[in-house]
Structure 1
Amino acid sequence: MARPHARLTVLSGPSGVGKGTVVAEVRRRHPEVWVSVSATTRKPRPGEVDGEHYWFVDDAFFDDLIAKGGLLEWAEYAGNRYGTPKDPVDEQLRAGSPALLEIELQGARQVRERAPEAQLVFLAPPSWAALVSRLAGRGTEHPEVQERRLALAQAELDAAGEFDVVVVNDDVARAADELVRLLTAPPPAGP
């Protein structure tokens, strides 16, 4: 891996595009890359581990984080709240290392407002049909939730132009390597 720079990189994209899969591949292929663990009020899916995949918290704890300014960003998505604990990200950047966040569109927009120097990367599906197939194949949600996710996914795809870079998830290993290259590249020179 190239010499890292202390830069905040945000990975976002529509539900079902494979953000978690790409980040898992980044961790597997590049274990030196630090990835923030988000807090969520969502219940764990089968196989998810508290503190590894997410910090699974209740509404009262999440409210407390918001009230104390303990979240870099937070958003409500499909009836649950997700947020990035601020302190671990700040510690990583202060140590001179890059930080990677995997978050939803609303959160990415908040990071853009609060940290304009952050690099925003949009993970796109190879096609709409591939995205629909991935969402339907999950099998962990009720049909009404899937319908809401598809509607949100279309709106999220329309927002790709707000991001600095678009990475197409047509091959997980290639997308992971491209993300690591972006994560470790120096920020562009100012005007």
Structure 2
Amino acid sequence: MTTANLLLPLAAEQKSADVTDWAARIGWVAGLLLFVALVYWLMRQGWKWRGSLQSDLPELPAAPDDPGEAGLTMTGRYHGSTTAGQWLDRIVAHGLGARSRVELTLTDAGLDVVRPGARDFFVPAERLREARLDKGIAGKVLAEGGLLIVTWEHGDRLIDSGFRSDRSAEHAAWVDALNSMNKSITTHRTSTTEGPAR
């Protein structure tokens, strides 16, 4: 028997090994696509359900016609809002759950949050409570101090909103400015409530 005759059965075996069970492959692909669609639908339903649970949250305030002179400005990203002190309890009502680019402006009147492609909002100065540096908020974890967290009051709820500047070195100046503004407003509010000393 020649070498050529020995190679013929091997060539035939290799050729038959290339045959694919297309029906099984198409079935697996279709099943995988259905599973992905189901997971996406469940996530969407969960988002809607969370939004309905937070329907008591009032409408977000809009910026006043004359917000005053800009003290600080910042461009970066808005990473979402949560219930204050509970970094996994995401707030999605009124578009607060949508991540986006952001332009922040701090004035005497408050904090103007402009979000291209998402809903803008304004936090009046008397509603600002504190600012701090942190490493995470629902769905986003960064290095220590990588997020600027602004705590503010809306309705009867305290909210933490997370921002990241394009230049993270700016975060410390924002923390100082926001906390100084809050301290000044608190002092003024206390002195007005107590009245002049006798």
Bin for the TM-score computed over the shorter chain: under 0.3
TM-score between both structures, scaled by the size of structure 2 = 0.24
More strand by percentage: 2
TM-score between both structures, scaled by the size of structure 1 = 0.25
Report 1 or 2 for greater relative contact order, CA contacts < 8 Å, sequence distance ≥ 6: 1
Greater CA radius of gyration, 1 or 2?
2
